[in-house]
Structure 1
Amino acid sequence: MGSKQITQETFDDAVQENITEFEMDPEEAVREAVQQFESQGVDLSNIVKAVRPPASENGQRQKHQILLTLDALGRAVAEQDLAELPGHLSSLAAQCKEQLAFRCLAGRHGAYAAVLSACRLAAGDRGLLLQALGALAALLDGQPDLLEAAGQELVLRSLRERRGDAEVALAALRCARHTCLRHERNRQALVRAGILPLLTGAILQHGGSADVVRAAASALRVMTFDDDIRVPFGHAHDHARMIVLEHDGLRVLIEAAKAFTDNSGVLSELCATLARLSVRNEFCQEIVDLGGLNLMVTLLADCMEHPDVVRQVLGAIRALAGNDDVKDAIVDAGATELIVLALRQHLGNPQVCEQGCAALCMLALRKPHNCGVIVRGGGALAALQAMRAHPREVAVQKQACMLIRNLVSRSRDLSQP
């Protein structure tokens, strides 16, 4: 059963009651209201936990600050006041970025329509369009249901008609990513409308911009997710296949990486996307042939101090190892030693331990020679240490057990003390 929900008005009334009836100060009133509702199992993640200004003298309720900003934006849009729009859009975007509750409150009060109208008014003004798209991206973060056909067309048009403008492309890419995360209908609609070549095209067009490359790679990766629990099945595999076969996605990503050899953030993003595209044997082999494996091994060696990067690279190696021939290439490249080193160095990080054990598990599967390399390199001991370090982490325990099983299933001599 899901958590209980309340409206913003119900929460605000409870806070006001604490102030007027129990003479609490505002901060205490908010804390008391939060404790009261959470003790009843109410989900407050979408509720603004702040004191609303007191009612005016005529008894009219006052509004939260973000709604006042939204009202001002609505008036500027209605009056087509281009001089006032930038300030209101900037203010709305800043408040939306503060927390999900602000975005939800604005979304429930017509913010999407107001911002979309502002985008239309800004069509001929690059600076204003940038601010409008920025506000739209901030609003859509965590609220993909707000997007509809007109918004989809705006995102596509911005990427298509202003493809040479890196800043506009970046803002549109962020909108695309937010609208497709955990939303299969939006993903399928945008793919049908032709967003995939626009995403790979953005990487090619702006290959020198770290921000654009990261955003485009992230958007491509989201297109391969199957994370919307509202649909029985998604098109994740089909989208991955289209990116690779129809839009040369593997080559685009690996070539882009060559411009950022000293930027671990971009390389990590590209590796994570390559992992999502490794859905067929031939795709895994193509990544190796294009130099993707060397990229991953180098990145793992150079960024061993950064657990987030290490986790992404281990996940990519795990995906590549789905191809039996590529397993040998990974071992020959010296990746097993680096994986064991990563496990030892980040033993306290359950995500790194999970991905490290999973990568070794894949390398050991059906490969007795690799099993010997892993055991001699300390892989089995590292897996046991990970199990001891994280006894309550189911994913770590599972992957470590599967690794041990694969190590001994075809190499019985390795099971001896």
Structure 2
Amino acid sequence: MSRRRITQETFDAAVRENMEEFEMSPAEALSDAVEQFDSQGVDLSCIVQAVPAGTCGDKEENHQVLLALESIRIGSNSQTLSDIQHFTEQCSAGFAQRYLAAQKGAYAVILSFCKSRVEAQDAALGGLLALAALSDGQPDLLDADGQQFLLDVLKKYQDSPTVQCAAICTVRHCCLKHEQNRQDLIKSGVLALLIRAITQHSECAEVVKGASAALRVMTFDDDVRVAFGHAHEHAKMIVLEHNGLKVLIDAAKAHLSNSSILSEVCATLSHLAVRNEFCQDICDLGGLKLIMTLLAENYESQELVRQVLSAIRAFAGNDDVKDAVVNACGVQLIVIAIDRHISNAAVCEQGCACLSVLALRKPNNCKVIMEEGGTMAAVQAMKTHPHVLNVQKQACMLLRNVVARMQSYCQPILEMGAESLITQALQNHQDCNDVGKAALRDLGCQVELRELWTGKRGGITN
């Protein structure tokens, strides 16, 4: 059930009433208002939970973000840059501030500022930073004029890494969960601009990281308002038309000591491995060798390990790449990663998923997984994270894939305690039903299977 919503004015009036009618202190008035609305089931996620402060001309007291916005509207040229910086800081404070500003027409004001100051680099940068902050979580704000401005500024200031970073951040915010913005910007050539930013500023960590993240967003299918997105087509365009795989792999090689960039690049490569030949291309370009090296040399970085495992999982959709991973001692490295970060559910999930993919239709790989302790690592992950659905699902799938073509491994896996753990997963997680029962069935355990359809024809009744 959706929660009730109120306006900022309603919330502010309640706070003011507490202060004037009940003589509460500002802090007490604010706390009481929040408590009262919460008890009534009101959603306050878009409400600035602060006491309005300051005045703006003849207007009543208002919130800092609106005061900053009004200063930009009426400010002189000498003061506007500091005002825009103050507005950016306020928008960066939280979504409620950004939402309130947007409700009061901030997008038109900031875009007008950006377009009028585009010739001055410092002002253009300040306006872009404000636009990036305002659009975070509010991609619907972007219109055709805003799209064209972003494309123009990416072209105009292609030699400035700071302006590129700000523009790319705005593009990413406006494309997240917004399929139409993605399609419009891609049709207008944004992919070439993002790729060029990476190649031209390959030494700049922030540009490479931001552009890689923006490219990844272009491959998302996350807009619930759209029945069918173009995620697959966008990934193909990045790879085939813009040589994206080589550009990203080369960028990663230039920043081998920066785990943050490496994590971003690995995540983006995972989203680009959408076709069998792309997986092979990544391997041929040295991408597989690169990520195996990253896995071997960066065990302490949980986030990087997780992203590397996710990348291996994606690349191993190609059967030849499966063999290449195993031949490169990938199973041993994955097992070590799971053991090293056994308390981290995300690493365990991705590690089990990797081994599951490597085992699929590959009896020889199953043998290596058994010998290197992969199934034992999965069992231990199930014990450590009994209430994490995805860990349980991926571990069940791994155990099932290992024994599906290698029945001789059933008894050793059962001796690890797999049956009771799978049974527990079935009890705890309804979504484990299919993979859990399949694992029990292939392990030779007694399992109740329901026949959902017998194939018999029946009459149709009106």
Equivalent runs, 1:173-188 vs 2, <5 Å: 173-188=168-183
1:44 aligns with 2:39: no
Q: Which residue of 2 aligns with 1:70?
A: 69
Q: State whether residues 6 and 42 of structure 2, in contact with CA within 8 Å, keep that contact through their aligned partners in structure 1.
A: yes
SS state at 1:372 partner? helix
| Counterparts of residues 397-408 of structure 1 (less than 5 Å) | 397-408=392-403
CA distance in 1, matches of 2:357, 2:38: 43
- The corresponding residue for 1:305 is 300
Find the aligned partners of 1:282 and 1:62 in 2 and give their Cα distance: 61
Say if 1:119 and 1:129, in contact at 8 Å, map to a contact too: yes
Using the alignment, how far apart are the partners of 2:204 and 2:389 within structure 1? 39
Cα offsets for 1:101-159 (capped at 9, x unmatched): 11111111111111111111212111111111111111111111110001101111111
CA distance in 2 between counterparts of 1:263 and 1:68 reads 40
Structure 1 letter corresponding to 2:17: E
Asked whether the 8 Å contact 2:359–2:402 carries over to 1, the reply is yes
Offset of residue 54 of structure 1? 8.7
Aligned to 1:290: 285
CA distance in 2, matches of 1:43, 1:341: 45
Offset, 1:306: 1.3
Q: Using the alignment, how far apart are the partners of 2:197 and 2:53 within structure 1?
A: 45
Structure 1 distance, partners of 2:299, 2:351, is: 13
CA distance in 2: counterparts of 1:44 and 1:288, whole angstroms: 49
- The SS at the match of 1:396 is helix
Distance 2:301 2:327 in 1: 24
Counterparts of residues 86-101 of structure 1 (less than 5 Å): 86-101=81-96
* C-alpha contact (below 8 Å) 1:264/1:299 kept by paired residues: no
Q: AA paired with 1:287?
A: I
Q: How does 1:318-397 map to 2 (within 5 A)?
A: 318-397=313-392
**2:54–2:64 Cα contact (<8 Å) kept:** no
Distance 1:300 1:41 in 2: 47
Of 205, 210, 214, the match for 1:215: 210
| Deviation (angstroms), 1:371 | 1.0
User: Contact between 1:85 and 1:118, CA under 8 Å: does it hold in 2?
Assistant: no
Residues 1:5 and 2:2 aligned together: no
Task: Give the secondary structure class of the aligned counterpart of 1:163.
Answer: coil
Equivalent pairs counted in the alignment come to 412
Equivalence for 2:35: 35
Candidates 123, 134, 138, aligned match of 2:133: 138
Note the aligned Cα RMSD (angstroms): 1.6
Asked if structure 2 preserves the Cα contact closer than 8 Å seen for 1:184 and 1:231, the reply is yes
| In 2, Cα distance between equivalents of 1:228 and 1:28 | 40
SS state at 1:341 partner: helix
Alpha-carbon distance in 2 for matches of 1:124, 1:112: 20
> Is 2:229 the counterpart of 1:230?
no
Amino acid in the other structure paired with 1:336: V
Instruction: Return the match for 2:107 from 109, 112, 132.
Output: 112
Shift, 1:18, TM fit = 2.5
- How high is the TM-score relative to the length of structure 2? 0.86
* Letter matched to residue 203 of structure 1: I
Contact 2:55 2:62 in 1 (8 A): no
Give the C-alpha shift of residue 2 in structure 1: 2.5
CA distance in 2, matches of 1:206, 1:401: 44
Residue 279 to residue 55, structure 1, CA distance change in 2 (3 Å): closer
Which of the numbers 146, 153, 157 marks the counterpart of 2:152?
Answer: 157
* Contact 1:123 1:129 survives alignment (8 Å): yes
Question: Which ranges in structure 2 are unaligned for 5 or more consecutive residues?
Answer: 413-462
Bigger Cα displacement from structure 2, 81-90 vs 178-187: 81-90
CA apart distance, 1:55: 9.0
4+ aligned runs moved over 6 Å, structure 1: none
- Residues of 1 paired with 2:54 and 2:278: CA distance? 61
Identity of aligned residues (%): 55
Question: Which has the larger Rg?
Answer: 2
Relative contact order, higher structure (CA 8 A, sep 6+): 1
- Give the alignment's TM-score, normalised by structure 1: 0.96
| Residues 137-190 of structure 1: CA deviation (Å, up to 9, x unaligned) | 111111111100011011111111221221111111001000001111111111
- Give the 5 Å matches for 1:402-417: 402-417=397-412
Q: Which structure 2 residues correspond to residues 211-290 of structure 1 after superposition, within 5 A?
A: 211-290=206-285
Q: Deviations over 1:295-329 (max 9, x none)?
A: 11111122211111111111111100111110000
Residue matched to 2:142: 147
Aligned to 2:18: 18
Further displaced range: 294-303 or 124-133? 294-303
Output one character per residue of 1:33-82: Cα deviation in whole Å (capped at 9) or x when no partner: 222222333221111010124999x9x63111110110010113xxxx33
Structure 1 letter corresponding to 2:162: E
User: Which segment drifts farther, 104-113 or 334-343?
Assistant: 334-343
**CA deviation digits over 1:200-247, x for unaligned, max 9?**
111111111110000000000000001111111211000000000011
Instruction: Verify the 8 A CA contact 1:74 1:114 in the aligned structure 2.
Output: yes
Does the 8 Å contact 1:223/1:239 carry over to 2? yes
Alignment deviations for residues 242-274 of structure 1 (CA, whole Å, 9 cap, x no partner): 000011100111111121111111111111100
Q: Does 1:199 align with 2:179?
A: no
CA distance in 1, matches of 2:22, 2:173: 42
Amino acid at match of 1:9: E
CA distance in 2, matches of 1:335, 1:181: 33
